[in-house]
Amino acid sequence: MIKRTRLRGRPVRQEDSTRVNDRIRVPQVRLIGADGAQLGIVASDVARSMALRAGLDLVEVSPNAVPPVCRIMDYGKYKFEIAKKARASKSKQHVVKLKEIKLHPKTDDNDFNYRVRHAIDFLEHGCKVKVILVFRGREMAHQDYGKHLLDQMCEALSEAAVVESRPPMEGNAMTIVFAPSQKSLAAARKRAQAQAASGQGGANGDEAGAGVPDEAAESQDETANNAQDGNYA
């Protein structure tokens, strides 16, 4: 006898809940024709026959109405159009990225200026920047140094950013979240328009992306930041 292993934790496939054709089992429906004409209340069997003769489907579009409202349409095409609209809507959504930059009370001027340049670059690409100042060990006794460093960061980013939030001390870290200023947003829009124009003019991918660092470059920058942070351990 072969034992069947029961698989657990597998995702349950969600079926389409829209009732179509034979799944519509109410005796009567309020019918809308393929051309949008109101055909009144008809028997479900008659409505299915009309859809079949037209080579289309009978689709329940308003199940909570009494009687339910059904329409004669090409259901496959209808689902495709809905998915297409959803994809178009998703592509138009602007997702704001949040970049993190770490500091320490002992961060020297060169490293501080390096992080400021990266913060401005991120802001001019429409990203938000979260600056995290981490205290280690006895540095907790000198929180005024850290506060002074964050004040310097605010001053350095005063033209490129606005302070979105500055929560109080959390554990061993102080944080500030910067949002792009109008100047940075204008620079981001200008860069995007230039990139779009470059793409329409037949420029190759390297030229079109020359003004925008890719994710790999940003990852390398973050890795460099983390490596430099480790020097202050």
Higher pLDDT, 82 or 188: 82
**194 and 106 within one domain:** yes
Domain CATH code at residue 184: 3.30.110.10
**222 and 122 within one domain:** yes
Q: What does the pLDDT read at residue 41?
A: 93
pLDDT in tens, 151-164: 999 999 988 889 98
Q: What does the pLDDT read at residue 94?
A: 64
72-79, long-range: CB < 8 A, 24+ apart: 72/31, 72/32, 72/33, 72/34, 72/47, 73/34, 75/18, 75/20, 79/16
Taking residues 17-29, what's their average pLDDT?
89
Query: Has residue 206 got a pLDDT over 80?
Result: no
**151 and 187 within one domain:** yes
Domain range for 150 is 98-198+211-232
Query: Has residue 201 got a pLDDT over 60?
Result: no
**218 and 162 within one domain:** yes
Taking residues 80-93, what's their average pLDDT?
81
- The pair phi, psi for residue 2, each rounded to 5°, is -90, 125
**102 and 71 within one domain:** no
Question: How far apart are the C-alpha atoms of 54 and 42, rounded to whole Å?
Answer: 16
The answer to whether residue 80 is domain-embedded is: no
Question: How far apart are the C-alpha atoms of 121 and 158, rounded to whole Å?
Answer: 14
Mean pLDDT of the chain: 79
The answer to whether residue 8 is domain-embedded is: no
Q: Say what percent of the chain tops pLDDT 70.
A: 76
Q: Give residue 230's pLDDT band: very low, low, confident or very high (50, 70, 90).
A: very low
Taking residues 50-66, what's their average pLDDT?
91
Q: What does the pLDDT read at residue 100?
A: 92
In sequence order, what are the residues at sequence separation of 6 or more whose Cβ sits closer than 8 angstroms to the Cβ of residue 29? 41, 42, 44, 47, 58, 60, 67, 68, 69, 70
Query: Has residue 178 got a pLDDT over 80?
Result: yes
How many domains in the chain?
2
Taking residues 61-70, what's their average pLDDT?
91
3-state secondary structure of 76: helix
The answer to whether residue 164 is domain-embedded is: yes
- For 133, the token pair is 């100042």
Higher pLDDT, 209 or 65: 65
**59 and 160 within one domain:** no
**222 and 110 within one domain:** yes
**39 and 118 within one domain:** no
Query: Has residue 217 got a pLDDT over 70?
Result: no
On whether the pTM is more than 0.85, the answer is: no
